[in-house]
Amino acid sequence: MIFFPRFSLGDFYWWFVFNPTDNPSRYREQTKEAEMGFLAAIFSFLFGDGDPNWDLEQRRWQMIGAVIRKNKGAVAAEQIAPYLDEISQTSWETEDYMLPVLSKFNGYPQVSPQGDIIYHFPQLQVKAAETKENKDLPSYLREHIELFSKATSRQQMLAIGLGVLNIVLAIALSILLQGGIAAELGGIVAFVASIYWFLLAYGIAFLLVPTVRYFWLKSKNNKIIRRNQERQLRAIDYNQLHLQPSLKRKIDFARQFATEKVISQQDITYSTEQDLLDQNIERKDKIEEEWRKMLDKD
């Protein structure tokens, strides 16, 4: 007796529609969204909806810059670590993971008499008066889990059903065309028979592509979860260790370099938001005062 494993349409549903690596809140958000059009839902089922972390590097540098500004331009490496990736034990000890940050924001290290290293960023110590601080700055950089599809469960079931129907019809067609019937009937029947293998391959690919993408996406999301956990652990470690003598000493040393210069409207000589002549009229008194100072020097 030959044993065939039981495999039902419901198995496809749980493979594609339910994503165990996703978190429940994002799944609820997905179900609340308006339904896509049919063709858009099919495309989403087959190829997904794009990378939700396309702006990851932009968010990373914005957060790091915000942390440095929040600390008035001087930080310890442990304050930046929750926003970086792939920090090995050796890199953690030598703090060379800070090199890209120093390069990005034109910073440089400062060494205390006790040998502690902090990082000073003079260019981030200047801000405009209108700049609003981000009070809701996350404690670590969090990547978004990528959904299998934003199509609704019903639309995904319809897509799976369509793929199964393609295969069933292709097999049924092969049975009907056996015995040279296509050659006898000719016309459209002969044409369909000639593209039979294409139709069968299309039906198989229709389900194979999302199946492969599902397992690839599962692996990708597992890596995202791991990176998020590593960053979160570094943030937790900092919150727990920042009162310890060694780290507290570094932060106290960093505060010696912490300063902030706020550029007000009076500090701006010219602006592109207003016509040059109008600016000169508004600043007439200031210009005359500058001229008097120059004449007095002469």
pLDDT value of position 17: 45
Q: Domain-by-domain residue ranges, the chain? A: 268-297
pLDDT value of position 24: 44
Q: Of residues 227 and 2, which shows the higher confidence score?
A: 227
Query: Whole-model pTM above 0.95?
Result: no
Residue range 124-143, pLDDT digits in tens: 988 755 555 556 899 999 99
Q: What Cα–Cα distance (Å) separates residue 30 from each residue in 9, 61, 64, 178, 210?
A: 23, 28, 30, 46, 18
Confidence of residue 9 (pLDDT cuts 50, 70, 90): very low
Task: Select from 80, 132, 134, 88 the least CA-distant residue to 107.
Answer: 80
Q: Which three-class secondary structure state does DSSP give residue 87?
A: coil
Q: Is the CB of residue 251 less than 8 Å from the CB of residue 116?
A: no
Q: What Cα–Cα distance (Å) separates residue 178 from each residue in 33, 107, 183, 190?
A: 47, 76, 10, 12
What is the H or E stretch that residue 249 is in?
helix 245-255
pLDDT value of position 295: 62
Residue range 187-246, pLDDT digits in tens: 666 666 677 788 888 889 999 999 999 999 999 999 999 999 999 999 999 988 777 888
Range name among 2-16, 21-35, 97-111, 230-244 with the lowest pLDDT average: 2-16
Residue range 144-175, pLDDT digits in tens: 999 999 999 999 999 999 999 988 888 877 77
What is the H or E stretch that residue 192 is in?
helix 187-194
Confidence of residue 28 (pLDDT cuts 50, 70, 90): very low
pLDDT value of position 100: 95
DSSP letters along 14-77, please? HHHT--TTS-HHHHHHHHHSPPPPHHHHHHHHHH-S--TTTTHHHHHHHHHHHHHHHTTTEE-H
Q: How many helices (H) and strands (E) does the chain have?
A: 14, 5
Residue range 98-111, pLDDT digits in tens: 999 999 999 999 99
Q: Which three-class secondary structure state does DSSP give residue 148?
A: coil
State yes or no: pLDDT of 54 exceeds 80: yes
pLDDT value of position 291: 60
Residue range 259-283, pLDDT digits in tens: 866 655 555 554 455 555 555 555 5
Q: Average per-residue pLDDT in the chain?
A: 79
CA distance 8 to 15: 11
User: What backbone phi and psi angles, to 5 degrees, belong to 103?
Assistant: -70, -40
pLDDT value of position 283: 55
State yes or no: pLDDT of 287 exceeds 70: no
Confidence of residue 8 (pLDDT cuts 50, 70, 90): very low
pLDDT value of position 27: 43
pLDDT value of position 290: 63
Q: What is the mean pLDDT of residues 43-62?
A: 94
Report CA dihedral (195, 196, 201, 204) to the nearest 10 degrees.
140
Q: What is the mean pLDDT of residues 2-11?
A: 40
Q: Is the CB of residue 158 less than 8 Å from the CB of residue 39?
A: no
